[in-house]
Amino acid sequence: MKESKHAFPIIILIEWLALAGVSGCLNGMAEGPKIANLTYATLRAPIEEKGVFTVTGTFDIIHPQGETASVNTILYDDQGKQVAEESIPLTDTALRTSDTLAFGIDCAEAKKGVYTFLTSVKDIKGKQSNTLMGTFALTDVF
């Protein structure tokens, strides 16, 4: 019985392609959410408490599995001190694979200065998206 010189490399190639395909599928399943295209505005709330203001905005999300669970936002003052944090659970958008989501965060003790916020999303498996950052200057305090 004569063996082919090319049989062994062909079998190795077929096995490698099969494993690469499975690996690619597994990697695709492991992807977490991605967010981009941040837009935001600062709003100062004219209420009796001095220094209250709100940051609101939107961003686009892509999540192949559509399992987004929450929008998370943290606000820092110009000294790098965390002054507010908000985690908003999602219910109506949890199964969508792409969407534009809104976020908001309130700060009750604002002073003049530069503020930075970070926003991200987390899926039901605990995978966090990339983080988007915004910076603004607060010049008027009620």
What angle is formed at CA 76 by the lines to CA 112 and CA 47, rounded to 5 degrees?
50
Residue 94 is given by DSSP the state T
| 1-24 residue pLDDT tens | 555 555 545 555 455 444 444 444
CATH of 31-138 among 2.30.42.10, 3.30.1660.40, 2.60.40.2550, 3.40.50.300: 2.60.40.2550
The yes-or-no verdict on residue 119 having pLDDT over 50 is: yes
* Residue scoring higher pLDDT (59 or 114): 59
Q: What is the pLDDT of residue 81?
A: 94
Neighbour tally for 63: CB within 10 Å: 23
